[in-house]
Amino acid sequence: MKDIMLKIVGRQVTNDGMGDQQEQVMEFVTEGQLCQRNGSTYLMYKETELSGIEGCTTSLKISGDTVRMKRFGQILPIDTVMEFQKGKRYEGYYETPFGAVEMEILTNSVNNRIEEGVLDIDYDISLKGLTEARSRLNITILE
């Protein structure tokens, strides 16, 4: 495993039900690790207080146009898996400190340029009964 620095930018656009959209942006720089194994690239980093899930680790398995994200933690009992592949729908559960919520993801695009240090994911997410949003995740490796 190679130690790296990551810049992570998450954007989420939600509708307020009255036709107005609200955008939330979360941006942070953190230490992470990178490794290559069996044709896949793996990125791992610890979540910060800014993300709202401090104490959790996020692991990304990047294989071509498919990204599998896993969040897990010992401090908070969170264990969530999300899979992103353009045009594909993924259903699962989003674990929170308050319990699991049904989740559905429809991936709009995956721009895997990880060999250049960039990964972009654009997706729609629905947390049943809580929220629906369009999200964009940009990860840049800062050598």
pTM of the model: 0.86
118: burial class by Cβ within 10 Å (0-12, 13-18, 19+)? middle
Amino acid 132: pLDDT: 86
Q: Which of 101, 90, 92 is nearest to 67 (CA)?
A: 90
105, 123 contact by CB (below 8 A): yes
| Partners of residue 50 on adjacent β-strands | none
Per-residue pLDDT of the chain (143 residues; tens, 9 = 90+): 899 999 999 999 987 666 678 889 999 899 999 999 999 999 999 887 666 667 788 999 999 999 999 988 765 566 789 999 999 999 988 776 677 788 999 999 999 999 999 999 999 999 886 778 999 999 999 97
82, 103 contact by CB (below 8 A): yes
Q: What is the largest CA-CA distance in the chain?
A: 48
Measured CA to CA, the distance from residue 48 to residue 64 in angstroms comes to: 28
- 2-142 architecture in CATH? Beta Barrel (2.40)
Domain boundaries of the chain, sorted by first residue: 2-142
